[in-house]
Amino acid sequence: MRKASKVVTVIVFLFLYVPIIVLMVASFSSGTDLAIFKEFTFSRYAELFKDTNLLLLVRNSAIIAVLSTAVATILGTMAAMGIYSMKGRIRSLVMGLTNIPMTNPDIVTGVSLALMFAFTGTVLRLQTVLGFWTLLIAHITFNLPYVILNVMPRLAQMDPNLTNAALDLGCTPIKSFFKVTLHEIMPGIISGALMSFTMSLDDFVISYFVTGSGFLTLPVEIYNYTKKPIHPKLYALFSLMFIVILILMVTMNVLQARSGSAKRRLRAGKEAA
């Protein structure tokens, strides 16, 4: 049974990553055919960094990702603390509502947000409502649950006596939050922020419905490129995006692992004492 599970795991990983490996190899080929590797070259990457239109789209995607991550991290942390202070069924109900954007199909979320923005534009009598701000609001909306989901376990693991001790020693509630609570839940905040950034950076479906012609992100514009033969310089772009997201995900996992091991060492020290 274990051997069969390992074989299935290998097959799944091959199915997931072989296309990406082929794409990365093709980004260093001087030819245009994915099946035939010609001379090794960096010319595709040189062409990429000379294309001002693509670089502008990358900048737009980065701006949306950074801003939505920052806002979602702040609001999500505050929301997680509020939800954690709730009791019983109310907390379960609110958590269920919070998780809906993650389980909801992206196309449903995108269409719903587009209809809401269109209705708002009609009420305010605006000719063009879709653009930078609607895109930013949409990204903040679907990033929030990921931050809450990462911060909530950290709050549950935190010793409540630490906050009480800080208050007894003269800290105000705000000072105790920054000196104690924030320090304890920081790994969860960082993990939520990294996950939000990666989700925002490569989102296409929701962005497609809520963006306007005046502000386009890279994934939305790449969809237009697929209607004609793809230029090899896009192979280089896809490879760089994959590497960036891979680094962020590895960093997130390392931080979670270190935090978990530190908690275990702390518990072991308390039990030994």
Q: pLDDT tens, 124-180? A: 888 788 889 999 999 999 999 999 998 998 888 887 788 888 887 888 888 888 888
DSSP 8-state assignment for residue 49:
H
| Residue 98 and residue 231 share a domain | yes
| Residue 77 and residue 189 share a domain | yes
pLDDT, residue 266, reads 60
| Residue 230 and residue 252 share a domain | yes
5 domain residue, yes or no: yes
What tokens were used for 35? 């099946």
pLDDT, residue 262, reads 62
| Residue 107 and residue 30 share a domain | no
| Residue 267 and residue 155 share a domain | yes
46 domain residue, yes or no: no
Q: Is the pLDDT of residue 90 over 80?
A: yes
Q: Is the pLDDT of residue 69 over 90?
A: yes
Rounded to whole angstroms, the Cα distance separating 114 from 211 reads 9
Domain count, the chain: 2
Q: Is the pLDDT of residue 71 over 70?
A: yes
- Percent of all residues in the chain with a pLDDT value above 90, rounded to a whole number: 22
CATH number, domain of 246, equals 1.10.3720.10
258 domain residue, yes or no: yes
Structural domain for 259, as ranges: 51-272
| Residue 137 and residue 27 share a domain | no
68 domain residue, yes or no: yes
| Residue 207 and residue 179 share a domain | yes
| Residue 115 and residue 2 share a domain | no
pLDDT digits (tens, 9 = 90+) for 202-242: 888 999 999 887 888 888 888 877 777 777 888 888 888 88
What pTM, to 2 d.p., does this model score?
A: 0.82
| Residue 164 and residue 33 share a domain | no
Rounded to whole angstroms, the Cα distance separating 138 from 152 reads 22
Confidence of residue 70 (pLDDT cuts 50, 70, 90): very high
Q: Is the pLDDT of residue 6 over 70?
A: yes
| Residue 58 and residue 2 share a domain | no
Q: What is the DSSP string of 66-106?
A: HHHHHHHHHHHHHHHHHHHTS-HHHHHHHHHHHHHHHHS-H
